[in-house]
Amino acid sequence: MVQVSRFWRKDEDPGSEIRCAGSQDDHWYDRRRVVLPAFLAGLVLAFSAIVFATVRGVGLWRQMKRTGAAFSDELSSFDERAARAERLLAEADRSNRDLESALARLRVSRARLDVLLGSLEGAQRRTRWLRVLLPLR
């Protein structure tokens, strides 16, 4: 086994010694021991993130389906109410037209009645003297 000293030399120059801290292992610079666990930890974290995102995405998709169903129900209800309001407005418009035509007929009838009443009053004025001759009942 090769003994590694506590001092590393850079180009064998005694003035460029780097002292290794006492808490560090003699082989602290060997990265092979760290790469595999770091890769596995990263792989586990990435897989966990994918699973988490997938679960949240599925939950979001289900919530969007429920929300869309609620919106479509409300929109269909609104469409039904709007159609009913249109029908009622059409019926009111038709009733209004019927009322206008009835009012026109009533005005014509009232004018005829006024003419007849005027004729009756004129006839009564002309025949008033005959009442004296008619027996009273």
Residue 20 in tokens:
């290794």
SS3 83: helix
Distance of CA 128 to the CA centre of its chain: 82
Residue 119 in tokens:
């004729």
Q: Are strands 7-8 and 18-19 parallel, antiparallel or unpaired?
A: antiparallel
What pLDDT, on a 0 to 100 scale, did the predictor assign at position 119? 94
Average pLDDT for residues 34-49, to the nearest whole number?
A: 94
Q: Which range has the top average pLDDT, 19-28, 33-42, 90-99?
A: 90-99
Helix, strand and coil in the chain, % to nearest 5:
75, 5, 20
| pTM as predicted | 0.44
What pLDDT, on a 0 to 100 scale, did the predictor assign at position 1? 47
CB 17 within 8 A of CB 5: no
pLDDT higher for 5 or 134? 134
38 vs 45: CA distance, rounded Å: 10
Q: What is the DSSP string of 7-47?
A: EE-STT-GGG-EEPPTTS-TTTT-THHHHHHHHHHHHHHHH
CA atoms within 13 A on the CB side of 132: 3
Average pLDDT of the chain to the nearest whole number? 83
